[in-house]
A and B are shown apart, each in its own frame.
Chain A
Amino acid sequence: MRGEKRPVPARPCVSRRCLCRCPTRFRPALLPKRAPRLALPHKQPRSPALGAKMSLFGSTSGFGAGGTSMFGNTATDNHNPMKDIEVTSPPDDSIGCLAFSPLALPGNFLIAGSWANDVRCWEVQDNGQTIPKAQQMHTGPVLDVCWSDDGSKVFTASCDKTAKMWDLNSNQAIQIAQHEAPVKTIHWIKAPNYSCVMTGSWDKTLKFWDTRSPTPMMTLQLPERCYCADVVHPMAVVATAERGLIVYQLENQPSEFRRIESPLKHQHRCVAIFKDKVNKPTGFALGSIEGRVAIHYINPPNPAKDNFTFKCHRSNGTNTSAPQDIYAVNGIAFHPAHGTLATVGSDGRFSFWDKDARTKLKTSEQLDQPISACCFNHNGNIFAYASSYDWSKGHEFYNPQKKNYIFLRNAAEELKPRNKK
């Protein structure tokens, strides 16, 4: 330019490996440009597993007849545009939570809690077949489930203000916790010197339970109703109503570590802790109802630079200022090996993101129902997401006849982080 010093790039570099020092460091993710997937009419339900499972319906546990209408799918519905594996005999009402078994348990077992007051367990085999194994009931909708670290017990939290411990070997469930309001979150804490169950409830308390005793080991007050929580030892994060956000440290005994100003403007909906390269929890991702996720590090070297928020689950209002539709982020899950994250939203899509490269890896096609929950299995090969109504549009859009699904997707490849060079 004018015989001056360095060449000015004529356009920002779009190559991933661009070494030029142009100011635009972040490029949109370079996915190969494929033709957009058309919503082809469904020929037949794809899952071959279903055929084999017909015989199992009659034989195993009482899942009820709700699941058998799988084959009645019409040709033009969009309930599985991603052609993922459907879990057999899914719950009859909205699915609130999903959890895969931990590493200690050989094989993969999936637990789902639903608004039909039940908790169901499936075994997921390597060929994709899902075998319903057992179920337990509460007297209210089940809002959260988690596994113990050895994989022998499942803890379930419900709107009936109790939490139960389900021993899978004996198929017995006993109540281990009591609150004064529905229990929204439940997590198992395994510390070197103690282990307990942490329950967060809408009665604004966080209680820690030794499963053998009817009184809590500890109760911590929250500023507001607990909306979501996550635990990765020795850190726990609880997000409450009115944009409350508290971090706890769990060494020795749980104590409040810091209260954080919420990086989001609206109601918190889901939270997930991520770890750094040496497997220590170092921050969390917080999702709100406003289609936005905030990545927040606990002790970053440069907070203004390291913490950021990104928009997701919004309809792309094309070009002009046509208002977009904004959907809530219903769940966030981090891939256990790659550290990349998945978000699911009320728009019926899931997306994979790489927070270090700050790029999006993939967005799914739109399902016909919101995706209400998601989780990864212990090694990150399977990504499970539940398609069911999350009440994001009120009771008018609630259709009790609509089927709810849980899909399983092979996540080993799609969640590899982008090499940022």
Chain B
Amino acid sequence: MTICHFFLQGRCRFGERCWNEHPRGGGRSGPAAPPSQGTGRGGWGAHNQRYTNVVQPSNFSKPTTWGGSRDDGKAFFGPSVDYGATGSGNKSSGFSQNRFSALSSEQNIGNSYRDEEEKLLEGIIKDMEVWESSGQWMFSCYSPMKEKPNISGFPDFSPEELHLEYYNCRANNNIQNYINSVQQLVNQWRNRLLELKTLNTSTKAALVSELKNVVSQPLPTFGFGGQQTSTFGSSGFPLSSSSNRSASNSSFKSNTELVSASSGSTTAFGSSSMVPDPSALGVTSSSRSATSIGFGSQSASSAASFSFKKPETAGSFGASGFSGFGGSSAVNLSSTTSLPAFGAVNAAVAAPASESGNSLFGQSVSAFGYNVAPAPPAATSIVTSDKLFTPKTDLSPEELKQFEAKKFTLGKIPLKPPPIELLNV
């Protein structure tokens, strides 16, 4: 059969349906969407035509995470449509460059699937570049791919929160305070961005282990989603500027605690997956936590809301210390052993039940807690602690009763982890 010369250029529109031969090993054609999928490859066809002489295979060095040559049908973020008739030339051209890059280097021949990690890292680099140059909102969390947890070091603040802070500061006549805090946040962001853009080995290792920690393990009794990402020193602790010092001290403490804890912990709760390279993370987090600064506005509720550590001497740690879908704030650890019970119960479910008394999830908590399947991959962020199990003596009689019962009753779910004696694994 005739060799499809469009395929050689990487732009065969018929893909698998093409009646000409597509030589394998001559490079893979970029567009992995067979027509029957009918994915929204928008201006794809139109833009193909514009490429007359552009695509020289040797030009491209690395594939990226976008599409690439993976035919597994799972495109990242679903098919990404590039809307806009006229001006989208740029973006889709950028797109097509990336698609074709699979064609490119000889590295790909015979090795269609690059290492997933490397793809992720490259994707991260690209995203960082775009983020830096595009003028988009800085204080946003980031995750390289749909299933992955948020990368640490990017706290999430909405424009409204900053807006409100400004108004509050203006009312108190200390706008300078606001400006300083924002400046520090910006610097923090920029540093983290640069770190990620120019990945050296230690950040790479940290990142990779962070991203890998999203492992779903069915845990015996409590059915945790098993997702733990140890984002040490993550998500800038929002502190009022005055309490900066003490906060960073305690965050240091928590890191070391965590590090030692994780090395010593048992694996019953799959917590071993939590042990990233401590030294690397210790290093990166230490560099970050010293400069973390944020707004203390959302603090008061931390007592009630389970997901934070209890307010410390530094007061307001509130808000963004917690990445809901798997990022865990190491900050959580620095409090007493009662808090590590965080790991005991499916975080978002039961805790408020005991606190506020009327948090219902429509079905019994145990159903939610015991079901591994519906728990989304990164649902619970389990923070290890120095102790995973409380000794029986530490539990109050009511908690003991709860643990011994078959099911937890809503409103009485204990905050501490269960005693090891009661576990049947």
Contact = CB atoms under 8 A, between A and B. Distances in A.
Contacts of B82: 310-311
Contacts of B41: 24, 26
Contact of A289 (B2, B140, B378): B140
Interface string B24-52: 00000000011101111111111011000
A241 B301 contact: no
A27 B13 CA distance: 14
Contact of B348 (A31, A223, A265): A223
Contacts of B320: 224-225, 241-242
Interface residues of B, number: 109
B19 interface: yes
B419 to A, nearest CB: 25
Contacts of B74: 304
B15 A23 contact: yes
A325 B134 contact: yes
B325 A242 contact: yes
Contact of B305 (A4, A204, A252): A204
B90 A202 contact: no
B45 A22 contact: yes
Contacts of B143: 243, 262, 265
A25 B304 CA distance: 52
Contact of B86 (A291, A316, A390): A316
Contacts of B44: 24, 26
Nearest to B38: A25
Interface stretch (A82-90, A146-154, A357-365): A357-365
Interface in B353-388: 356, 358-363, 368, 374-379
Contacts of A25: 35, 38
B330 interface: no
A192 to B, nearest CB: 16
Interface residues of A, number: 107
B166 A305 contact: no
A244 B324 contact: yes
A327 B159 CA distance: 12
Given A255-B362, A261-B377, A304-B78, A242 B322 contact: yes
Contacts of B162: 391, 394-395
A243 B379 CA distance: 12
A2 interface: yes
Contacts of A143: 160
B305 A205 contact: yes
Interface stretch (B107-115, B144-152, B201-209): B144-152
B338 interface: no
Interface of B: 2, 13-15, 17, 19, 33-35, 37-46, 48-49, 73-75, 77-91, 93-94, 127, 129-130, 133-137, 139-147, 150, 156, 158-164, 166-167, 175, 178-179, 182, 235, 297-298, 300-301, 304-307, 318-320, 322-325, 327, 347-349, 351-352, 356, 358-363, 368, 374-379
Interface of A: 2, 4-5, 11-12, 14, 21-31, 94, 96, 115, 140-141, 143, 159, 179-182, 184, 202-205, 216-225, 227, 240-244, 249, 252-267, 269, 288-291, 294, 303-305, 307-312, 314, 316-328, 353, 358-360, 363, 390-395, 398
6 contacts: A21-B35, A253-B360, A265-B77, A316-B84, A318-B90, A319-B90
